[in-house]
Amino acid sequence: MNVPNAFEQTSVRAARAFLQTVVVVDNCAGFGREDIVPSDLVAPDDFATGPTVPAPQSATAGSTDGPLDAMTLSRAFACKKLVCAILKPSAEDRMEEAVRNASHRADLLVLDWQMNDDGELAASIIDGVLQDDGAEGRLRLIAVYTSQSPLSRVADNLAARVPRLSRNGLTFQAGSTRVVMLSKGGGANAPEEAGQAVEEADLPDRLLHEFASLAQGLLSNATMAAIGGIRDHTHRMLARFGPRMDGPLLTHRALLQSAADADEFAADLIMAELQAQVPIRRIVSHFLDVERIREYMDHRAAGGLKPQLVLNKGDTPETFELDAGQAIELVEKGLDALDAIMPDMAKKVGGKSNDDAVGKFRRGMKDALHERLYLLFSGDLADARRAHSEFAVRSKIWRDATALPAGWVPRLRPGSIVKNADEVWLCIVRLR
C-alpha cells in the first residue's frame, strides 16, 4: 500500500473518529491454538536441497479457508477503539440471517471466502447486504479476507455470483458500497498480489485506510468526524433526558393547543441539546480550514485535476486553467483574488485588455460567478452541474416534491418558500 499523502491521512483521522463496529465472519476463526484449524502438511522430500514450500492453494480447491487468529484480530481492533464481533459459521449453521442482521449496524464487514463451500455463503451475504441496503444504498466497506490464491480467481468467482457489482481489478463497487479483496498474511500469495496480503494485527489499519479512501472528501471528512462526536456524546444526552423529564414534557404538551407543536418542540429540544453537547462547529471548522483545503487541492492535483474557470456560457464553454494556489485563494477571497489575471481571461474570449473591457468582463463573471466555478473541482461540466444542484437540495434552497420521503409532510417555518405554478410565497410568520 502506498504511503498516504496529507489529505489521505486527514481522511483516515476522520474515518477513525467515525468507525465503531466491525463484524468478521470466518469458519476457521480460533481464539487459541486448540481452536485454529491446522493447515495441510506437506511431506518433506529426502532429496530436496531446501525447505519444502506448499504451493498456492487454488481459489476453488478446498471447502475451507486458512486459519484466522481471532484473538490477535479482536485485540487489534480494540486498540483502534473498534468493537469487533466474530461469527463462526458451520456446515450445520451458516448464520447467513444473523450476519445480514448484524450488518445493519456494522460499520465494516469482513468475510472469509471458503466457508464449508466454494464461496457460496460469502457471495450470498454480499448480495443480500446489497439488497437490504436498497437502491439508494449506504456508505459501506466489505472486505473478503481469504487465504485463497490467486485473489484474481476469487474475484472472478464473486463477479460471476454477484453481477450487480462492477469490477475494477480486485475491487468491486455497487453504488456507495465497495468490496475489496485482501489476502491473509500467512497464506501463500501470488507475487503480483503481495500488496493485498495483510496480517491479522495489521487488518484494522488497512480497513481504516480502505474506508477513508471510499469516503474521503472535504465535506464527507467533516461529516464523519461530526457523527463520531455525536456518537461519543450519545449516552451523556440520554442521561440528561432521563425519565424525570417525562412529567415536564407532558405538562408542556397539555399547555399547547396543538400536539404537533409539542412533538416539534421535543424534536427541537433534542437538536438544541445535541448542538450544546457536541462541538460540531469546531469539528467541522478543523476539517474545512485552509490547511485542509490545501491538502485536498494537492491530493486532487496528484490525481490529475486541473482547476478551471468557465469564461462563458454554453455546453462547451471556454475555460481558463488555474494553479492550486490560485484556486485556493479564489475560495478564500472570492473574485478579487483573480484581478491580476483578469486581462488574460478577457483576452481568451476575444476581449480587449483596456480597463473598460476588462471591467465589463469582470462584471459579467461576477453576475453568475457560481456558474464560472463549476470546473474548479471537477473535470466534467455536466456532472459538476448535477453536483451543485444536489448541494442546493441538501442546503434546502429548494426541494423537489418528488424527492420527499413517503408520508412526510413539510412544515412551514419562517423563511420557507412555497411555489405554486407561477406564484411564489414566502413564510414570514407561522400562525397557530
The DSSP result for 161-227, as a single string, is H-TTSEEETTEEEETTEEEEEEEETTS---GGGGGGEE-GGGHHHHHHHHHHHHH-SHHHHHHHHHH
pLDDT of 274 reads 87
104 and 25 share one domain: yes
CA 94 vs. chain centroid, Å, equals 29
User: Tell me, what amino acid is at 380?
Assistant: D
**Percent above pLDDT 90 for the chain:** 49
142 and 20 share one domain: yes
pLDDT of 59 reads 46
In a domain, 73, yes or no: yes
Number of domains the chain contains: 3
Lowest mean pLDDT among 206-215, 324-333, 407-416: 407-416
SS3 for 1-35, per residue?
Answer: CCCCCHHHHHHHHHHHHHCCEEEEECCCEECCCCC
100 and 144 share one domain: yes
Residue 98 sits at the vertex; the CA angle it makes with 96 and 103, to the nearest 5 degrees, is: 95
186 and 239 share one domain: no
The pTM (predicted TM-score) of the whole model is 0.80
142 and 208 share one domain: yes
In a domain, 53, yes or no: no
Name which residue leads in pLDDT, 32 or 159.
159
Give the C-alpha separation, 18 to 140, whole Å: 13
In a domain, 425, yes or no: no
Last residue of a domain, one of 193, 217, 241: 217
Confidence of residue 53 (pLDDT cuts 50, 70, 90): very low
Give the C-alpha separation, 394 to 67, whole Å: 46
Residue range of the domain that includes 206: 6-38+60-217
Confidence of residue 375 (pLDDT cuts 50, 70, 90): very high
Report the mean per-residue pLDDT for the chain.
Answer: 85
The DSSP result for 216-281, as a single string, is -SHHHHHHHHHHHHHHHTHHHHHHHT-GGGHHHHHHHHHHSS-HHHHHHHHHHHHHHHHHHHS-HH
In a domain, 242, yes or no: yes
139 and 180 share one domain: yes
**Percent above pLDDT 70 for the chain:** 85
Residue 314's CB: how many other CB atoms inside 10 A? 8
Last residue of a domain, one of 198, 217, 236: 217
